[in-house]
Amino acid sequence: MSQGSVHEWGRVDEDGNVFVRTADGERSVGQYPAGTPEEALAFFTERFAALAFEVELLEQRIRTGVMSPEEALESVKTVSAQVTDANAVGDLASLTTRLEALRPVIEAQRESRRAERVQKTAEAKEAKEKLVAEAEKLAESNDWRAGANRLRALLDEWKALPRIDRASDDALWRRFSSARTAYTRRRKAHFAEQNEKRDAARAVKERLVKEAESLADSTEWGPTAGRYRELMRQWKAAGPAPKDVDDALWRRFRGAQDQFFGARDATNAALDAEFAANAEVKEKLLVEAEALLPALESGSDLDATKRSFREISDRWEAAGKVPRDRIKELEGRMRTVEQTIRSREDEQWRKSDPEKSARADDMVTQLENAIAQVEADLEAARTAGNDKKVKELEENLASRQSFLDMARRVSADYS
């Protein structure tokens, strides 16, 4: 082996012992007897380079924040121990300095993460309080379908949030869980009640269907149609049965109705065709009856008109039924003729009532006598020059004269 060799941070003696220089003096880092001093220094400086690379890598990881402060601090301690006792040649003190410089960085990151956790905790608490408030509101609602879906979504949101301090988290969870339980209990009670109502509706509708089917072949058109209307009213009042059952029962109920009303409509259609000829007869009789009315206006013999109308009415009744859609029209026109004749008859009777005529004549006589007395009193007052009395008697005379004119018109109506 050649004589010893020197490096900036170490040396090799003649026996192949390698030393590193530190602030505390030289320290033996190993022996390399198999090679030259240069090879020995190269071997131990490469160890330093590997250690420096490890420090650089650690710096990058810590400064980029990929490590937690705890992991970073532990790594700094580990690598620092490796540097302190390293069997390598190089500026080991600079590596220690670089590692120590990472501690304030780690502490800053720790504070930053602590502040971030505080903020996230506050945000999580606020978010959970909102979830609880919405859950409690839903617990009091009757939105049974959308409410259940929303509560499931709220639970998923709750699970996605981080935990907060245990006391607050547990208290909020109890409220959230209680709200879900209360809603679920009320929802189950609601649907249980609905099921009971549906079962009751099912029993009612089964009874209605049986009766509807028993009436399907009835030919008592009027009463049976009325009963079907009542059955329909009861059907609607019964409420819904279970969906599949309700649909099947409705098909049976509607089928029975359709059978009955179809048969009734077919029968009525046949009758309407049969009664069409009767309508033509009655139209001709109406022409005769309505022709009697102009004669009444001209003062013709009322008794003769009544006899003609009775004869037409007899033929009317004998003509028989007409189609249903013509009944209102034809009967209305015949009733108008009848009412006109009766009105004229009532008017004639009123005018010929002897008792009313006598009362009207008596009223005229009384008023004439009273007016004669007033006229005599008026003449006397004028002779006496009593102007006040004259004015009173003149007003009295005018009033009585007005009543007399009215009474004479009434009396004339009975003459």
Q: Which of 252, 270, 288 is a domain's end point?
A: 270
Distance, CA of 303 to CA of 341 (rounded, Å): 10
Instruction: Tell me the two tokens of residue 391.
Output: 């004015």
Over residues 195-213, mean pLDDT: 91
Over pLDDT 90: what percentage of the chain? 44
Is residue 400 within 8 A of residue 370, CB to CB? The reply is yes
Task: Please give the average per-residue pLDDT across 350-360, as a whole number.
Answer: 64
Distance CA 208, CA 79 (A): 91
What is the average per-residue pLDDT within 230-250? 91
Domain boundary residue among 165, 194, 223? 194
Q: Is the pLDDT of residue 190 over 80?
A: yes
Q: 6 pairs with which residues across the strands?
A: 11
If pLDDT is split at 50, 70 and 90, which confidence band does 360 have? low
109 in the same domain as 12: yes
Across 219-232, average pLDDT: 92
d(CA 92, CA 73): 19
| Number of residues that this document lists for the chain | 415
Tell me the C-alpha distance between 121 and 234, whole Å. 61
Does 266 lie in the same domain as 209? yes
Q: 399 versus 157: which is more confidently predicted?
A: 157
pLDDT of residue 29: 92
| End position of a domain, from candidates 87, 116, 145 | 116
Contact between 33 and 17 under an 8 Å Cβ cutoff? The reply is: no
Ordered DSSP codes for 318-381: HH----HHHHHHHHHHHHHHHHHHHHHHHHHHHHH-HHHHHHHHHHHHHHHHHHHHHHHHHHHH
- Residues 112, 73 share a domain: yes
Residue 129 sits in the same domain as residue 185 = yes
Taking CA atoms, 287 is separated from 284, 290, 292, 335, in Å, by: 5, 5, 9, 13
89: its two tokens: 């040649």
- pTM for the whole structure: 0.43
User: Can you name the residues that pair with 13 across neighbouring β-strands?
Assistant: none
What is the secondary structure of 273-309 as a DSSP string? HHHHHHHHHHHHHHHHHHTTHHHHHTT--HHHHHHHH
pLDDT tens digits, 312-343: 889 988 888 888 888 898 889 889 988 888 88
Region of poorest pLDDT, from 119-128, 221-230, 244-253, 271-280: 271-280
Distance CA 332, CA 289 (A): 13
Is the same domain home to 302 and 265? no
- pLDDT, residue 3, reads 45
d(CA 285, CA 305): 15
Cα separation, 95 vs 152, whole angstroms: 56
Q: Which two tokens stand for residue 199?
A: 């079962």
Say yes or no to pLDDT of 287 above 70.
yes
Between 3-7, 26-30, 203-207, the lowest mean confidence (pLDDT) is in 3-7
346, 404: one domain: no
Q: Residue 155 pairs with which residues in a beta bridge? A: none
Residues 231 and 322 in one domain: no
What distance in Å separates the CA atoms of residue 151 and residue 147, rounded to the nearest whole number? Answer: 6
- With b for 16 or more beta-carbon neighbours within 10 A and e for fewer, the 45-72 pattern comes to bebbeebbebbeebbeebeeeebebeeb
Instruction: Provide the domain limits for residue 367.
Output: 354-413
Q: What are phi and psi of 31, to 5 degrees?
A: -135, 145
Beta strands 5-7 and 10-12: pairing type? antiparallel
Confidence at residue 43, expressed as pLDDT on a 0 to 100 scale = 92
If one compares 359 and 137, the residue with the highest pLDDT of the two is 137
149 and 160 part of one domain: yes
Averaged pLDDT score across all residues of the chain: 87
Task: Place 250 in a pLDDT band, splitting at 50, 70 and 90.
Answer: very high
Domain co-membership, 101 together with 15: yes
Q: Is the pLDDT of residue 410 over 70?
A: no
Domains identified in the chain, total number? 5
**Looking at the structure, do residues 302 and 254 belong to the same domain, yes or no?**
no
Residues 211 and 225 in one domain: yes
Most confident of the following: 30-39, 144-153, 265-274, 295-304: 144-153
